[in-house]
Structure 1
């Protein structure tokens, strides 16, 4: 029987992650992304470079981990009383955040340092969780709701494609059109 790994919530591992993430954000603001190195981040965080390499592997995987954390929504979606309004406002905010220069940088970093796809999966889960909340509230109000995956396919996926490959026509009207299509209103 193998020993059970010790879980230390809020322990050293959490403190290391928080200090390294903070160091990345601070140094990115001070010296820019192109000047970031593992030794520079480690020195700012008060850890050894080997700690960073052991936990993240390389700078790109570290940047990816920081990006995923930055892409986590900070507040639940607004409850405005109807599915079209709730989902429309959420889609506008999502597009605005993802299409911003920092949002684009975080998307790039999240994908570039993600060899096994787990970071992309986590980012997708953030959006799905937000959509689930909007749909659950609408369902509780008695509104007909589409499936979460349908909303991802018809709202989130086209936005992400355009952000990454065809960055034009990315405005509130585009977000609302996508929501209208997903809700069968166009």
Structure 2
């Protein structure tokens, strides 16, 4: 299933967003998150506080927007020549980035700033678009491939559940990748389990 890539703002709106996002990232590194305020961010970005309040509402919504943008992949998944290798490598990179302290912080910020679920949907779309690229390549090579939703359900969903709710727990005995927890082995096990059930070669 193909998904239309999300459209980023353009023109002055894009310049304001970039300046404010950059200011947030720089100030977090310099003074720490607890010291961040809208006026401080606005001064660094060269805009008025009212501009920031008008666009983002409050600091939590701004931090959430920055987090969602940081969770957006910069490049398409690497092509390793076959479906199994592509999915394994993508899943390994995904779990490494999302399970890191900064990855978890971005996820928390993204979800806290949008209780209506919009940011969760955007982050899910990022993953879906990446998977769609992998599956489209497999189809071009003549490989049988599962659908995007099946990969999300069987590979991404278990990883995200453990990242959010059980980051320190080992995988249950018999689970894919056991006894690891948030490891590359666990990610590879989920992919293998998916392909075993789907019947694709691996």
**TM-score, scaled to structure 2:** 0.85
Question: Do residues 170 (structure 1) and 182 (structure 2) align?
Answer: yes
1:180 to 192, 196, 199: 192
Q: Deviations over 1:104-158 (max 9, x none)?
A: 1110110000132221111111100000000110111111101100100011111
- 2-side partners of 1:10 and 1:146: how far apart? 35
- Residues 21-73 of structure 1 deviation map (CA, whole Å, 9 limit, x = unaligned): 00000001111111111111111111111111110011011011101110110
Alpha-carbon distance, 1:82 to partner: 0.9
1:5 is matched with none
Distance 2:151 2:194 in 1: 6
Give the equivalent residue in structure 1 for 2:34.
Answer: 34
Q: Which residue of 2 aligns with 1:22?
A: 22
1:58-92 per-residue CA deviation (whole Å, 9 max, x = no partner) reads 10110111011101101111111111100000000
CA distance in 1, matches of 2:194, 2:50: 48
**Distance in 1 (alpha carbons) for counterparts of 2:59 and 2:136:** 39
Greater Cα offset, 19-28 or 43-52: 43-52
Work out the CA distance in 2 between the residues paired with 1:175 and 1:91. 6
Paired position in structure 2 for 1:95: 95
* Matched residue, 2:67: 67
Alpha-carbon shift at residue 11 of structure 1 (Å): 2.5
Secondary structure at the aligned position of 1:183 is classed as: helix
Q: When the two structures are superposed, what TM-score results if normalisation uses the length of structure 1?
A: 0.92
- Number of the residue aligned with 1:113: 113
- Counterpart Cα distance in 2 of 1:155 and 1:123: 15
Per-residue deviation, 1:12: 2.0
Please state how far the C-alpha of 1:10 moved relative to its aligned partner. Answer: 4.0
Structure 1 distance, partners of 2:194, 2:128, is: 15
For 1:11 and 1:158, the matched residues in 2 are separated by 39
